[in-house]
Structure 1
Amino acid sequence: MATILKWATKAFRRPPSPPMCFPTSGFETVRPSDVLDEERSEQFKQGQYYPANIGDVLISKYQIIGKLFFGTTSTVWLARDLEGHQYVTLKIYTRDEGKQEEFQIYKQLNLGSSWHPGHAHIRKALDIFTIPSSGGDYPCLVQNPMWESFRDLLCRNPNHRFTEDLLKSGLMQIFLALDYLHTECKLVHTDIKSDNILQEIEDKSILETFTQAELKSPSPRKIVNGFPVYASRRFDLPKVFGRAVLSDFGSAVRGDERRNHDAQPNVYRSPEVMPKTDWSYPVDIWNVGVMVWDLFEGKHLFYGNDPDGKGYSTRAHLAEVMGILGPPPLDMLQRGKRSHEFFTGDGRWKQDIEIPTGVGLELSEKFLEGRNKEMFIAFMRGMLQWRPEDRKTAKDLLQDPWLND
């Protein structure tokens, strides 16, 4: 019976789609003096980017349709899976970019239960492969296409802040994703920020519109040292927004292993990371709390700008946290390998930076009133605690009264 089913599945499988023919003329040629996209990167100058061409078919399966954006270590392309008959994105990393640990994390993401409601709110890998080259191989990550990030939504809003309803909806989905990540996959993200929360593309017509635009009006491009560089093209505004999805697991680590190395973007760095105490899942909860302030209040809760004028410093950041939360518990300081740099043995602040006053959460919150404000501040306090063990878990936060009001 199994043999018959296997034969039947193979017999009725839809054959691969033929590759599309993209124009090889009729496009704008960018002037040599105009710097385009990844040309700005030092990696490009060193010849580390993959020389992708629109219309190319990679590993006899993925046809490149157009460039979506670029980063310091990769370019991202909309492509068509000719075998699966669906649109995908290809994130092609620079040559020999060490991505084995990140790819192992993506494999770990698929091991959790698909029945968990947070499973759908994690951006997973559809495929991972390598493009061979005589000068070094190019790792490639295949994923579902996504629309813009929460940060992009913030920029689109004239007030540069989320409404209360939009914030609550997004957070419910992010806490589902985090509960899946922490409990099912045993992973810590360590880089939760508005850039890394994307929206699924519910309105698939924008993918077809993108393709037709590339066919009818090819992307501007130029040739640099014999290699093509294309201008990025944006998706149109969708008619329907999809689910919020937690993405970018390049900094993720296992949560069941002891660690105290530096992690997280500066302004999102949690109190246990700064003095080098052991840390795990609760750093993600702190991340979310600080990000909420960005999204709802329209500004950072912490900046960490040192008065010496040299930019971010741990001592300035710790002073700001004390201004919001009060002094850290002595037992927490006793765990930190760097605590002695900032505090005396009995927990007194010893740096020559003043601790801000009049900046508690209640005074800093500007948009809510009465009981609603009290509930919101209580919600924030569930995430912003000195001791990681005093913070609520993602599962706890899903039941928060303010979030469910």
Structure 2
Amino acid sequence: MLTSFLQSLPRLGRRWTPLNFTNPNFIQLSASQAIEEETIPGYIAGRYYPTRIGEILKDRYRRYVTLKIFIKSTSMGQQLDDELKIYKRIEGAPQKHPGRKYVRSLLDSFDISGPEDKHRCLVHPPLWESMLDFLFRNPVQRLPTPILAVTLHRLFLALDYLHTECKIIHTDIKADNIMFGIADDSVLSDFENTELQHPCPRKELDGRTIYTSRELRMPKNLGAPILCDFGSAVIGDKEHSEDIQPDIYRAPEVILQAPWSYSVDIWNVGCVIWNLFEGGSLFSGQDPEFQTYRSRAHLAEMIRLLGPPSPSFLARGNLTQRFFSQEGDLYAGELVGEHIPLEQRETSLEGEEKEMFLRLMRKMLQWEPEKRSSAMELEQDEWVQAELHK
């Protein structure tokens, strides 16, 4: 998929002259030098639409938008329509909920023809950079407490909207799927003018142009955090047991292939927020024997942190017998080690503030899905509200 910023043609046939991005004063890179998307593992050029800077794709908008261009349609299968259906469900839900504005919206969708196949395009309002990118701007790679509190508050509002009004489970909440809004369009116009005057380096290869990236400048004021990317989202009013979520954020019911619902998003948020605030992952799932992620190692880490799961919870999982004995003991018990509670893992806070934050974390990190708080309850959490009103 490719994301690019465009300024396209006006409605109603008004005269508008497209910007001319043919400035020849750019650095021509060697065709043999792998750059940008070419460095992605498994990259196959023919699956992608060969977008060119300044290309006019559809004569509908006269403002800045973000265009998400999917790989060729035959490679997508059913996934091609899944994300679009989720966005249409969001657009059809009530709009007055306070969490609506913290969920990415869809302006339009259309198909374009590429050299080998058609490509689905989704049109969104532009956003700045992701929470992950923002995190790397901080030398200690941790979110400051005020930004964390605001992010959590908006994220809980967004999830309450998705869960209660839209009946949607996101299933893929991570730092690079939370993006900041743009409060000032000058960030985009500056980006545009810089490209006009100083074109980015590029290379020509097999009839397509491959460009080096250009960063957006830091805005004077950040917009609100927005929950994005609904490519893995599912309808919530159906029973689910399929495998979802990034490995280190998988909820225990997902690992054990037990029925799961909206509360997988709550577990997901707990893991992501710990990552953002504490500067490291709550769980890694790294198995010392295999030197890679394994579910048994992930479960061992959960037991080390939360204690053992209840027999009633284990009884729900189709894969429980693969990992646990009939007595509820993890077969790979040697991976559990000494119990290390959240109190020992948390190192950023002290006193009552630390206790309040840990109570928030425990509302999300529960073995049993029904014991996790809802997004609405978490939005009113004492630590979140106290930080917002400092």
Alignment TM-score > 0.5, same fold: yes
What CA distance in whole angstroms lies between the structure 2 residues aligned with 1:109 and 1:30? 43
2:200 to 219, 227, 244: 219
Using the TM superposition, give the Cα deviation of residue 307 of structure 1 relative to its aligned residue in structure 2, in angstroms: 1.7
Please show how residues 187-336 of structure 1 align to structure 2 within 5 Å.
187-336=168-317
Q: Secondary structure at the match of 1:214?
A: helix
Please name the residue that 2:39 is paired with.
Answer: 40
Higher normalized helix content (fraction of residues)? 2
- Which segments of 5 or more consecutive residues in structure 1 lack a partner in the other structure? 1-11, 62-80
Please name the residue that 2:55 is paired with.
Answer: 56
Answering whether residue 69 of structure 2 is matched by residue 92 of structure 1, we say yes
Q: Secondary structure at the match of 2:204?
A: strand
* Shift in alpha-carbon separation, 1:13–1:229, aligned structure 2, 3 A: closer
Q: Give the aligned length.
A: 372
TM-score (norm 2): 0.92
CA RMSD, 1 decimal: 1.6
User: Contact 1:174–1:246 (CA<8 Å) still a contact in 2?
Assistant: yes
Paired AA for residue 289 in structure 1: G
Please name the residue that 2:353 is paired with.
Answer: 372
* Shift in alpha-carbon separation, 1:331–1:358, aligned structure 2, 3 A: closer
User: Contact 2:26–2:201 (CA<8 Å) still a contact in 1?
Assistant: yes
Please name the residue that 1:119 is paired with.
Answer: 100
User: Contact 1:196–1:247 (CA<8 Å) still a contact in 2?
Assistant: yes
Q: Secondary structure at the match of 1:102?
A: helix
Q: Secondary structure at the match of 2:287?
A: coil
TM-score (norm 1): 0.88
What CA distance in whole angstroms lies between the structure 1 residues aligned with 2:14 and 2:301? 60
Q: Deviations over 1:214-253 (max 9, x none)?
A: 1111121111111111111111110111011000111101
User: Contact 1:302–1:320 (CA<8 Å) still a contact in 2?
Assistant: yes
Paired AA for residue 266 in structure 1: D
Please name the residue that 1:8 is paired with.
Answer: none
Q: How high is the sequence identity, in percent, across the aligned residues?
A: 44
What CA distance in whole angstroms lies between the structure 1 residues aligned with 2:319 and 2:196? 57
User: Contact 2:300–2:333 (CA<8 Å) still a contact in 1?
Assistant: no
* Shift in alpha-carbon separation, 1:242–1:391, aligned structure 2, 3 A: same
Paired AA for residue 27 in structure 1: F
Paired AA for residue 146 in structure 1: L
User: Contact 1:289–1:380 (CA<8 Å) still a contact in 2?
Assistant: yes
Paired AA for residue 285 in structure 1: I
User: Contact 1:43–1:49 (CA<8 Å) still a contact in 2?
Assistant: no
- Which segments of 5 or more consecutive residues in structure 2 lack a partner in the other structure? 1-10
Please show how residues 102-141 of structure 1 align to structure 2 within 5 Å.
102-133=83-114, 135-141=116-122
What CA distance in whole angstroms lies between the structure 1 residues aligned with 2:343 and 2:24? 61
User: Contact 2:49–2:114 (CA<8 Å) still a contact in 1?
Assistant: no
Answering whether residue 134 of structure 2 is matched by residue 153 of structure 1, we say yes
Please name the residue that 1:5 is paired with.
Answer: none
Q: Secondary structure at the match of 1:57?
A: coil
Using the TM superposition, give the Cα deviation of residue 24 of structure 1 relative to its aligned residue in structure 2, in angstroms: 4.5
* Shift in alpha-carbon separation, 1:233–1:174, aligned structure 2, 3 A: same
Q: Deviations over 1:178-198 (max 9, x none)?
A: 011111111111110111100
What CA distance in whole angstroms lies between the structure 2 residues aligned with 1:145 and 1:272? 35
Please name the residue that 1:22 is paired with.
Answer: 21
* Shift in alpha-carbon separation, 1:276–1:51, aligned structure 2, 3 A: same
Using the TM superposition, give the Cα deviation of residue 14 of structure 1 relative to its aligned residue in structure 2, in angstroms: 8.5
Using the TM superposition, give the Cα deviation of residue 358 of structure 1 relative to its aligned residue in structure 2, in angstroms: 4.0
What CA distance in whole angstroms lies between the structure 1 residues aligned with 2:302 and 2:331? 15
Answering whether residue 148 of structure 2 is matched by residue 167 of structure 1, we say yes
* Shift in alpha-carbon separation, 1:329–1:17, aligned structure 2, 3 A: farther
Q: Per chain length, whose mean CA-contact separation is higher, i.e. which structure has more relative contact order (CA < 8 Å, sep 6+)? A: 2
What CA distance in whole angstroms lies between the structure 2 residues aligned with 1:284 and 1:42? 28
What CA distance in whole angstroms lies between the structure 2 residues aligned with 1:356 and 1:220? 52
User: Contact 2:23–2:197 (CA<8 Å) still a contact in 1?
Assistant: no
What CA distance in whole angstroms lies between the structure 2 residues aligned with 1:231 and 1:153? 20
* Shift in alpha-carbon separation, 1:216–1:46, aligned structure 2, 3 A: closer
User: Contact 1:316–1:353 (CA<8 Å) still a contact in 2?
Assistant: no
User: Contact 2:66–2:124 (CA<8 Å) still a contact in 1?
Assistant: yes
Moved more, 349-358 or 391-400: 349-358
User: Contact 1:28–1:219 (CA<8 Å) still a contact in 2?
Assistant: yes
* Shift in alpha-carbon separation, 1:42–1:265, aligned structure 2, 3 A: closer
